[in-house]
Structure 1
Amino acid sequence: MGEPRADRPAGTAGYGEAAERLAAQYEAVTFAEVHREALHLFPPGPADVLDVGAGSGRDAAALAALGHRVVAAEPTPELRRIGEHLHAGSGVRWTGDALPGLPALGAAGARFDAVLLTAVWMHLAPDQRPPAMDALTGLLAPGGRLFLTLRHGPVPPGRRMYDVPADETLALARSRGLHPVLHAERPDLHGRPDVHWTVLVLSFNR
């Protein structure tokens, strides 16, 4: 897959300049650690998986190693290049497509059994979230699942983030036919005492 125009979400400015530091932070924890509450809900066999805001490709590569066909969507070119280098040979296909629209993937008619948004939703402004949920729902195959984490805590200097309530996200999802199969809370894996996370898994029953 090539590099379509990235409909970059607000809040990701500065990620290019900090790409190496951020990639090291992402790779310091494993896919299994980040998704421990939801591991049992991932597809058991080879499936089509989309990792939105894939960062360094940690999760995408781990899922590809399990035999899944994985597309990693990362709008920051610097992070995308690092991910392609770190996980060369993993079989992951990279694209520069991004929320809120994911226009290239939508235009291609792609459908996925699982879609991940790990530490991504916090970057979307209130008016971007409804079209983003529309785009994500449109990319899910019947019975597909959306894996989403919500960050809660102070915003780092120089970044634009939103502390999005879980109830708001669940209401937005339910209105589009997505139903929760997991709602969990966990502390920050990097040891930040003032940051915690909500873990949601939503099933699409078309």
Structure 2
Amino acid sequence: MTRVAGTQGYDQDVAAFFERSENVAFADKHAAVLSVHPAPPARILDIGAGSGRDAADFANLGHTVLAVEPTPALLAGAIAHHDHPAITWLDDSLPDLSAVLARGETFDLVLLSAVWMHLDEDERRRAMPNLSALLAERGVLILSLRHGPVPPGRRMFAVAATETIALAQAADLRILVHETQDSIQPANRLAGVTWTILAFQAENAADRTRQAATFTALSPL
């Protein structure tokens, strides 16, 4: 039985899921945001790690990775396929990320690849402040939004980039990247699936102080 609503369907046909995930090159998948990836060694949080391919690629680049995956079959498969001394594997889920937050860590990059659209409106609203809290100063949050037909058995929502940007701005994150692209996977591309790629950066305390001072100076008495 599925324990986390957003993971519905991901415990089915796991072998096919791994095959699709493993056949997507890191550079192709992350082309729109490679310029905002931190230089190694950095601390990476991969939420919804899936097959573990991204976590392994980041680890092989010299980063340390906390890979979070709530679907037991995927987590077990990811560990079997991509176990690495620089990767820590964790069973946790959005929107609360209680196990991640309990560790008291912050990260230079938080990645949600093909995850955000599995959350409903209330879950998205609750999740964004938690993601912001996990970013180190100048840390980067990257997430992708899927648009198009929903695969049978999956729980997905139509999520607008404008809503996501507004939630991020309310959590003291500023937009770095906003791009739309066709699906990399041929079958999805033929079905008309597109993706919005978003990247945000945490504002540091000095930035917020300057913004507040500017607002005060411009405000009428």
TM range (shorter): over 0.9
1:118 aligns with 2:116: no
| Structure 1 residues 114-160: Cα deviation after superposition (integer angstroms, max 9, x where no partner) | 00000000100111001111111111111100011110001111111
Structure 2, unmatched stretches of 5+, are: 205-221
- Aligned mates of 1:123, 1:98 — CA distance in 2: 11
| Structure 1 residues 79-121: Cα deviation after superposition (integer angstroms, max 9, x where no partner) | 0111111112353110001111100111121110100000000
1:40 aligns with 2:35: yes
Measured on the aligned residues, the alpha-carbon RMSD in Å equals 1.4
Calculate the TM-score normalised by the size of structure 2: 0.87
1:3 alignment counterpart: none
Show structure 1 runs of 4+ deviating over 3 A: none
The answer on whether the counterparts of 1:50 and 1:112 sit within 8 Å (CA) in structure 2 is yes
Give the match's secondary structure for 1:38: helix
- Aligned mates of 1:138, 1:97 — CA distance in 2: 16
Q: How many residues align?
A: 200
- Aligned mates of 1:149, 1:127 — CA distance in 2: 18
Give the match's secondary structure for 1:37: helix
More helix by share: 2
Structure 1, unmatched stretches of 5+, are: 1-5
2:81 alignment counterpart: 86
In the superposition, relative to structure 1, how do residues 72 and 16 fare at CA in structure 2: closer, same or farther (>3 Å)?
same
| Structure 1 residues 3-29: Cα deviation after superposition (integer angstroms, max 9, x where no partner) | xxx983x23122112222111111110
1:180 aligns with 2:175: yes
In the superposition, relative to structure 1, how do residues 173 and 7 fare at CA in structure 2: closer, same or farther (>3 Å)?
farther
In the superposition, relative to structure 1, how do residues 117 and 91 fare at CA in structure 2: closer, same or farther (>3 Å)?
same
Give the number of the structure with larger relative contact order, counting CA–CA contacts within 8 Å between residues 6 or more apart.
Answer: 1
- Residue 151 of structure 1 aligns with an amino acid whose one-letter code is R
- Residue 63 of structure 1 aligns with an amino acid whose one-letter code is F
1:191-206 correspondence to structure 2 within 5 Å:
191=186, 192=188, 193=190, 194-206=192-204
1:101 aligns with 2:96: yes
